[in-house]
Amino acid sequence: MIQGALHLPLNAPRFFIATPLATGATLDLPSPVANHALRVLRLAEDATLTLFNGSGGEYSARLRVGSRGRATAIIERHDTVERETRIEATLLQALVAAEKLDWIVEKATELGAARVLLFPAARSVVRLDGERLARRVAHLRDVAVAACCQCGRNRVPLIKFASTLDAALGETRGASIRLLLAPDSASGLPATEGRSVAIAVGPEGGFTPAEVQAAEGSGFALARLGSRVLRTETAGPAALAALLALAGEFA
């Protein structure tokens, strides 16, 4: 969706609320939200808040400070504004170190990615399963939510784990353009205006020849990002930014 006008002031503190919101309602703020509003941001009675729940648009509200760290919000109006990108982008990111994944998800969210699909590549040093995987995906979703609060998005990108590269590739069949980043490719990035795109990024050691072959067999084209080899945590956000620029997002 084309970026909309900024109806509510972006300097108002923004909070994600994982419950239904409605104009005229009085909402008890969840403890983490109340704590951040009162103790971290030190907001006072009657401060303006912007609330969103990921279902579309955002809500202007007024803060009411209670006792013992409690707070409520009086929701005054709903604004249908959206700040999504011109193209629907999916980032397929091989598992890498935790701090790198945090950075990748944060920047992909700020840039407007609709989905981040994580998968274990052959050369991934990190391996996740069971409860550790569930905790990691939940943490990365929190990272995406925080990034939405900062950048003004009202839609939280999907953060999902695919058990294999093939499974991740299969989830992008609807994309108009599907690219696997390969430094030795003869082709650069294509124009993407009015389309959806999927971008696959390998781990620190890159994709194996077998993985590249599998991606090409699944309909992915190889693309390079200039003459330099970028780190895995740089490549995805850089490709997203470049494709958005080609689509006219920053005009």
pLDDT at 6: 45
Choose the weakest-confidence range: 65-69, 146-150, 200-204: 65-69
Counted domains in the chain: 2
Same domain, 96 and 148: yes
Burial letters 144-153, b for 16+ CB under 10 A, else e: bbebbbeebb
For residue 13, report the phi and psi dihedrals to the nearest 5 degrees. Answer: -55, 135
Average pLDDT over residues 15-37: 96
pLDDT at 193: 65
> Which stretches within 64-170 are classed as H helix?
98-111, 130-151, 165-170
Q: What is the pLDDT of residues 30-55, one digit of tens each?
A: 999 999 999 999 999 999 999 999 99
- Judged against a pLDDT cut of 60, whether residue 9 lies above it is answered with no
Same domain, 116 and 167: yes
- Bridge partners (DSSP) listed for residue 222: 180
Please give the torsion angle defined by the CA atoms of residues 203, 207, 211 and 214, in that order, rounded to the nearest 10 degrees: 100
Which CATH number do you get for residue 109? 3.40.1280.10
Domain housing 192 = 88-246
Average pLDDT over residues 108-118: 98
46, 79, 112 — which closes off a domain?
79
Residue 139 lies in a domain: yes
Same domain, 126 and 175: yes
Three-state SS for 73?
strand
Which position has the higher pLDDT, 4 or 21?
A: 21
Q: Are strands 48-52 and 26-28 parallel, antiparallel or unpaired?
A: unpaired
Same domain, 53 and 142: no
Residue 134 lies in a domain: yes
Q: What is the pLDDT of residues 158-216, one digit of tens each?
A: 999 999 999 999 999 999 999 999 999 999 998 876 689 999 999 999 999 999 999 99
Which position has the higher pLDDT, 162 or 130?
A: 162
- Judged against a pLDDT cut of 80, whether residue 11 lies above it is answered with no
Report CA-CA distances (Å) from 244 to 3, 133, 136, 181, 188: 12, 31, 28, 16, 14
Residue 3 lies in a domain: no
38, 53, 79 — which closes off a domain?
79
How many C-alpha atoms does 21 have within 13 Å on its Cβ side?
Answer: 27
Which position has the higher pLDDT, 68 or 150?
A: 150
Residue 56 lies in a domain: yes
Same domain, 138 and 228: yes
Choose the weakest-confidence range: 148-157, 214-223, 241-250: 241-250
- Angle 222-181-143 (CA atoms, 0-180°, nearest 5)? 145
Counting other chains too, the contacts that 237-242 makes at CB distance below 8 Å and 24 or more residues apart are 237/104, 237/107, 237/108, 237/111, 239/179, 239/181, 239/189, 239/199, 239/201, 240/89, 240/91, 240/108, 240/111, 240/112, 240/113, 240/199, 241/111, 242/189
pLDDT-derived band of residue 4, with 50, 70 and 90 as boundaries?
very low
Residue 1 lies in a domain: no
DSSP state of 87: S
Same domain, 69 and 169: no
pLDDT at 162: 96
Please answer whether residues 239 and 112 qualify as being in contact, where contact means their C-beta atoms are separated by less than 8 angstroms: no
Which CATH number do you get for residue 66? 2.40.240.20
pLDDT at 137: 95
Same domain, 131 and 185: yes
Same domain, 95 and 46: no
- Judged against a pLDDT cut of 60, whether residue 8 lies above it is answered with no
60, 79, 98 — which closes off a domain?
79
* Mean pLDDT (the chain, rounded): 93
Residue 64 lies in a domain: yes
Residue 173 lies in a domain: yes
| Cα Rg of the chain (Å, integer) | 20
Please answer whether residues 193 and 246 qualify as being in contact, where contact means their C-beta atoms are separated by less than 8 angstroms: yes
Average pLDDT over residues 105-115: 98
Burial letters 94-129, b for 16+ CB under 10 A, else e: bbbeeebbbbbbbbbbbbbbbbbbbbbbeebebebe
CA distance 185 to 187: 5
Same domain, 214 and 113: yes
Same domain, 99 and 29: no
Same domain, 58 and 98: no
Same domain, 99 and 138: yes
- Judged against a pLDDT cut of 60, whether residue 124 lies above it is answered with yes
pLDDT at 10: 61
Residue 9 lies in a domain: no
